[in-house]
Amino acid sequence: MKSFDRPFPQFIGNDGAKNQIAAYLQSGQFPHALLIEGPTGSGKKTLARLIAGAAVCENAEERPCGRCAGCRKAAENIHPDVEEFSGTGGERSFHIDTVRVLRHNAYILPNEAEKRVMILSNAHQMTPQAQNALLKILEEPPVHLLFILTCENRAQLLPTIRSRVTVLSLTGVSFEKAYPLLKEKLPEANEGDLRRTFTAFGGVIGPVLSGFADKGLSKALDLLPRMAKALLSPDDWELIALTGEIEKDKETVKEVLNGLHLLFRDALMLHYGSTATLSTAPDAARTLSAALSGTRLTALIKEVEGLQEDTRRNMNQALLLSRLVTRLRSAAIG
């Protein structure tokens, strides 16, 4: 079996992860369970489906070939040997009953392909009971079965699950690689706006596309300069009021934290003489750079990084926003 010299060319960036998959395909020794981790919008489900297509490809010389019936059915999400499971979308919404169903189906022999593939999307939403129920079949899987799990961060899963999977990590990509797709999907956006927005979200394509489509992005971008101003106000109430606007919007909170991280980074660079800015709120960055010391700006960056880690661990939203107010205000004004 051989792979493309440039595997999955339709999947932008993350060459390290793609080359790792290509090596498995070339050797014919695929792990029985993969975990694809990465931020929301990084393409975890897309890559999982591409890997599933390679697993059910009928071309023994080149997988995935993209031409055989197996590849075509996988691309259309109608292959009988590829199943997808997930929760209903909220925290702890992936229940043990779903795992019982997939455990039962796991022992059914493939209908058409050599492998049967089960994709478990957003595995970090599994309850502890569901993860424990999955553990046994991960330990002793049928030889015909390939599991592909996705999550934002492996730390969100039980250590016993992590120890039985092979991890592929996805990260942001360069703007140069992403720009053709962004321009195709967002033809009305100018390059400058796309570049700033793309950088604000750490090179992750999904939030940029979804933000322009559903106005969630404009909400986050509108909040950033207002939050910067609130950090310098005499009391906490202005910042508390702003967090109240996103109390029930988990994805926007993530976008705000990404934007704040870049904003504080820009302010620090400006403070020490740089003239370039990458954030979507350059005027706010200049205000912060003039008002705060380098020590305080560095502390703000560290606090945002801590809050980002809290989101990856699915911290309660109300507690997260409370921490945002107290920790950022403390870092800014003491």
- DSSP string covering 252-300: HHHHHHHHHHHHHHHHHHHHTT-----SS-HHHHHHHHHHS-HHHHHHH
Average pLDDT of span 274-285: 78
Total domains present in the chain:
2
Under the banding of pLDDT at 50, 70 and 90, the label for residue 217 is low
At residue 52, the 3 state secondary structure works out as helix
Asked whether residue 139 falls in the same domain as residue 265, the answer is no
CATH number of the CATH domain containing 272: 1.20.272
Asked whether residue 220 falls in the same domain as residue 304, the answer is yes
Asked whether residue 247 falls in the same domain as residue 328, the answer is yes
Asked whether residue 53 falls in the same domain as residue 153, the answer is yes
112 found inside a domain: yes
If you count them, how many residues does the chain have? 334
Asked whether residue 24 falls in the same domain as residue 160, the answer is yes
pLDDT tops 60 at residue 1: no
Classify burial at 170, counting beta carbons within 10 Å of its beta carbon; exposed 0-12, middle 13-18, buried 19 or more.
Answer: buried
Asked whether residue 46 falls in the same domain as residue 156, the answer is yes
Q: Which residue range is the domain that position 230 belongs to?
A: 215-333
Q: In this predicted model, which residue has the larger pLDDT, 190 or 294?
A: 294
| Percent of the chain topping pLDDT 70 | 93
Looking at the whole model, is its pTM more than 0.85?
A: no
Asked whether residue 234 falls in the same domain as residue 162, the answer is no
288 found inside a domain: yes
Asked whether residue 129 falls in the same domain as residue 19, the answer is yes
CATH number of the CATH domain containing 85: 3.40.50.300
Structure tokens given for 46: 């897309």
